[in-house]
Amino acid sequence: MVNIVLFGPPGAGKGTQAFLLKKKYDLVHISTGEVFRHHMAEKTELGLLAKSYIDKGELVPDDVTIHLLEKEVASFPNAKGFIFDGFPRTVTQAEALDAFLEKQSLKVNAMISLEVEEDILVKRILERGKTSGRSDDVNEEKIRNRFAEYYKKTAVLKDYYSKKNKYFGVEGVGSLEEVTERLCQLIDKL
């Protein structure tokens, strides 16, 4: 079983790459952002709560997000492994994930970060916003706030996983295939 955290700032290509990797390695892809958007579309209580944060480009509170993630993982009892996309985003979430996996004698094998410069990312997200239907993709101020949240709360996870020798950086600029190839080379060695 291999569990991978796909990491990187908003717009780095985590979702796109996770979609390709899950097929190649037969893994379950869990994107907390996608699960929140599903709840928002269904207008569930959780969806309405998440929307109040997501619309401002803020992170959804840890307790809500951790509970959601654990429920998602538990709903795939026969998974051969997971690709976590957009989770963890805080140290509290990373600690909760470790504890949760440990209870099942599992672990995070690697955090792989897609490294892309911020200016390229903002352009990518605004471009994506033309078709994604995501309210947080269309407004530059909201996008900048997502980066502020990333640098304030999420970027520290590089240290968290580096200390465990589980952090790997990958150049996230290039064609889709080139980036996938870089990721596969790394995953094949895990």
Active site members: 14, 89, 128, 134, 146
CA–CA separation, 162 vs 62, rounded Å?
22
DSSP state of 90: S
Using CA atoms, how far residue 106 sits from 79, 98, 100, 162, 165, in Å, is 12, 8, 8, 19, 17
Compute the least distance from the CB of residue 150 to ligand AMP, in Å. 9
Compute the least distance from the CB of residue 188 to ligand AMP, in Å. 26
Closer of 16 and 109 to ligand AMP (Cβ): 16
**Residues in touch with ligand AMP (CB under 6 A):** 10, 31-33, 36, 53-54, 58-60, 65, 86-87, 89, 93, 136, 146
Closer of 32 and 110 to ligand AMP (Cβ): 32
Which residues lie closer than 8 Å to 49 by C-beta, 6 or more apart?
Answer: 60, 64
Closer of 59 and 183 to ligand AMP (Cβ): 59
Q: Nearest to ligand AMP by Cβ — which residue? A: 33
Whether 101 and 93 have beta carbons less than 8 Å apart is answered as: no
Which residues lie closer than 8 Å to 98 by C-beta, 6 or more apart?
Answer: 107, 108
Closer of 58 and 81 to ligand AMP (Cβ): 58
Whether 97 and 153 have beta carbons less than 8 Å apart is answered as: no
Looking at residue 150, its amino acid is: Y
Which residues lie closer than 8 Å to 119 by C-beta, 6 or more apart?
Answer: none
Compute the least distance from the CB of residue 76 to ligand AMP, in Å. 18
Whether 59 and 89 have beta carbons less than 8 Å apart is answered as: yes
Compute the least distance from the CB of residue 86 to ligand AMP, in Å. 3
